[in-house]
Structure 1
């Protein structure tokens, strides 16, 4: 990401926008499209290396969880003649909610691929489970490839890759790092510091960090903006 467009209004994407754009069954899909349209076509869009890597990590994690859910449905779901996708989702939620915390993305995937999960509840053939595993891997492989293409800046979306991130900002921006450390989790803190670092090294006057994270980032907007020169926080939901 060069400074050739330093005068252009720039949006830095939080990881949740990357996931909404790349994962077909993600609840953020439509909000991301609407947000892009409402923000306007004259804005440069960018994401940091850290956001791309977190997006890939999230997709991989949800792939593993989808496989675990499929295996549990196959092995333990007490099937009946009229089982529905809703029945399977209720079972999966009951099995995993306490351990997973945020089981929502897996339930969204079951909506996307519900027939296969209902089918697993009604068979004891191992080949059906293997086939579902293969379909899960293929489904999640698509978003992983899309994220990688976007990171190389050769995807269908003009999303610049800001790769000049630091592994740690603790020394370079010690006071800012310390202030945000008590406010946000490690990943949110460093994604916002990526955005501030982009302002510093590319001579941009201001960069908007666009996110759907209202509880942690949007609710702390004033403190974040006071801490990070040149960074504004944009609530993606306000454009939907």
Structure 2
């Protein structure tokens, strides 16, 4: 039979173990740089991490208060409505949000489950994705700049990827060959215009000569193109190899040398 002293010692040991686990959890949450807010089934704050104070103006005394009473730095996002939906449906929610200082966060809301698989609220996590969004924006701006630059070129021009699929084309290309963006971008060059670009001479240029020489100028061929008739075309092609490990692009410009004159038919 355990004495009171033994019982007290065992209880004290469990308290210290629990305190240690709580300290470990606090340090873990504070150092993964992900804002976290734990809410109960009434959307009342149970606990939160330091990173979460960047999105909600939280202080330690806010534990026990409804999250709806706390001012948010989010722009036009009502996350409490989403949290209630997650609580009701148990379906996780995810969304990118913008805060007033310009940062972007990925918000995830998931049910809070106990070890016994009982739902006792929801957990909101906030992951800073500002650098990713900034990089994506820079890429988009660079793409728009490149496309606008390409559009200033008067000769028909195509940009192909390493699989010979069209990345973009300029306005002159669409006008000259009488095709649309939808029928061009994302398609392999040989499939354009009901396969009218599936020409042996073009295949030789793109698959044999260009990989060997990197740039080809003045490559001439003749072909009957759908909608515009017979044309003699001069092709200039160049492989563009970047400094990174990304696949090379191919710039392909076309220039008409001469078209077959229209034949007159007599009745």
TM over 0.5, shorter chain? no
Larger-gyration structure (1/2): 2
- Greater fraction helix: 1
TM range (shorter): under 0.3
Flag the structure with more relative contact order, 1 or 2, with Cα contacts below 8 A and sequence separation at least 6: 1
